[in-house]
Amino acid sequence: MTAVNETQWAALEQHRQQIQGQHLARLFAADPERFKRLHRRLGPLLLDFSKQRLNEDTLQHLFALAEAYDLRGWIDRLFAGEPVNHTEGRPAMHWALRLPTGKTCLVDGKDVTALVQAQLERMDVLVSKIHAGQWRGATGEVITDVVNIGVGGSDLGPLMVSEALADFAADTAAPLRMHFASTMDGSQLAQLLRTLDPHATLFVISSKSFTTVDTLSNAATARQWLERSLGDCAGLLDCHFLGVSSAAGKMTEWGIAPDNQLQIWDWVGGRYSFWSAIGLPIALTVGMQGFRDLLAGAHAVDEHFREAEWAQNVPVLMALIGVWNVNVLDINALAVLPYDGRLKQLPLYLEQLEMESNGKSVRRDGTPVEHSTCPIIWGDVGPNAQHAFYQLLHQGTEAVACDFIMPARRYREQAHSVAARELLAQHELALANCLAQSRLLALGDGALDDPEALPAYQRYRGNQPSSTLLLDELTPYTLGMLIALYEHKVFVQSVLWDINPFDQWGVEMGKRIAVQTLERLRGAAVTERSDASTEGLLAFIQGNHK
């Protein structure tokens, strides 16, 4: 850490000591204009951070910290395609997947935009063919079910977005149902295969490396199921499998024909990949225009992130507020609370995006970090969470920051016209709960009439910080914006923590040890025993326990 960085961290700590006794209820009571000054608009999105435990002086200190860590330089390097993923010697160019036609991006002399657009055109052809009922199974039936087989970023992103945008389902010649299988134990796939028609099922195998054991195990099971069900049909693999990977040769070796392959690239991290052909299930759900709208929303945030000054830069503000909470206020948990059932997978998605990216303890120069890094991310759909863990948020002993996420308008789509009045009333109920819960968490007893008359167990301490992200509506465009905000927030925080957010070495060694353990489970002779716990568990599993 440089002397300049140390000075800025010290200034933040001194500032904390100056304001630490100021409860949020007191801050709102003293300043009727607090919301006006502590919220930002970005097109159809609004970020309200007036319920965070900070003031405008806090922001100035945080902006100085960003300057001390050369945040602007790091943003420029990210968008210049430099190898910001230094442990793997790669750029991180998920933003390039969102570039519109006409915007040339050259990296090492290659036109990245042309590569991306070529794959989008291939996706368009496949999606159009499937939607029109022209893609047939090996025995001539129209495809009615598509199963995405992937794990991690090849599953969580497509699943989250497909479910979130189900109201925008594309018109198809016949009903098309999307399914997802990721668990290596086969449980999801086993349940699916009991209900699917093999004659009318298409599998999409999504794996960046095409070596992930979870995915290939599920793919092998699907292949065997088809072979048992359909016999030795000509063109079985050609009719029932698509592949998405950076490893074309491995897809071909597995049996996926080149015409059935879509490409991604090494410069796309798995958890940043649904903007690429990994997002094929999304395009199959909402159509290619809906998918392009998703990309357009994210690109709008990319441009904002690159150009806006810190005081107006929404992802930068989100990131700096997170750093303030974690590193200065010592709040090491963030609850993600969407008040819209369509976003039920969003907390899981953000768990991977944030904790796999910034769950690091080694700085870029190989030395241990000197500050806490990523908080624990968790959450659920807000109304469900109210009946699960809000008790801890309101009256527990832990400080937890919260992100409330909500569309202001809903049920305007034609699909809901019959029951629109009743559904609108339910949306209003969800909105009211979202606003009320964030208010009570912030103000505590200050939100109540005559709290002194209540017994201690009915009192609320408040002062739990939160931000609210309010969308005009949940659409492909606004969802693209929302996810891009969190992606750039992760990058900004990685700069201030001096870590690499684009690798994930922490998950690799466990996979290697699992291979050795699998050999033991299957009876292979070994020269070295493992620890006593593992030996005892293996003995129990193999039926040799005494």
Residues annotated as catalytic are 356, 387, 511
How many whole angstroms separate alpha carbon 310 and alpha carbon 313? 5
Going across the sheet that includes 333-338, the strands are: 39-42, 45-48, 466-471, 401-407, 333-338, 376-379
Phi-psi region of 519 (alpha: psi -120 to 50; beta: other; left: phi over 0): alpha
Q: Given the structure tokens 């040799």, which residue do they identify? A: 544
Residue 455, CA distances (Å) to 391, 392, 462 in order: 16, 18, 16
Indicate the burial class of 400 (C-beta count within 10 angstroms; 0-12, 13-18, 19 or more): buried
Strand segments, DSSP code E, in 326-465 are 333-338, 376-379, 401-407
Do the Cβ atoms of 207 and 154 come closer than 8 Å? yes
Extract the tokens encoding 514.
């699992």
> Which strand ranges, in their side-by-side order, compose the sheet holding 177-181?
177-181, 145-149, 201-206, 241-245, 261-263
- Residue 376 phi/psi, 5° resolution? -75, 125
Tokens 């493992």, residue located: 530
Q: Which residue, 312, 345, 447, is CA-closest to 42?
A: 312
Q: What tokens were used for 192?
A: 């699916």
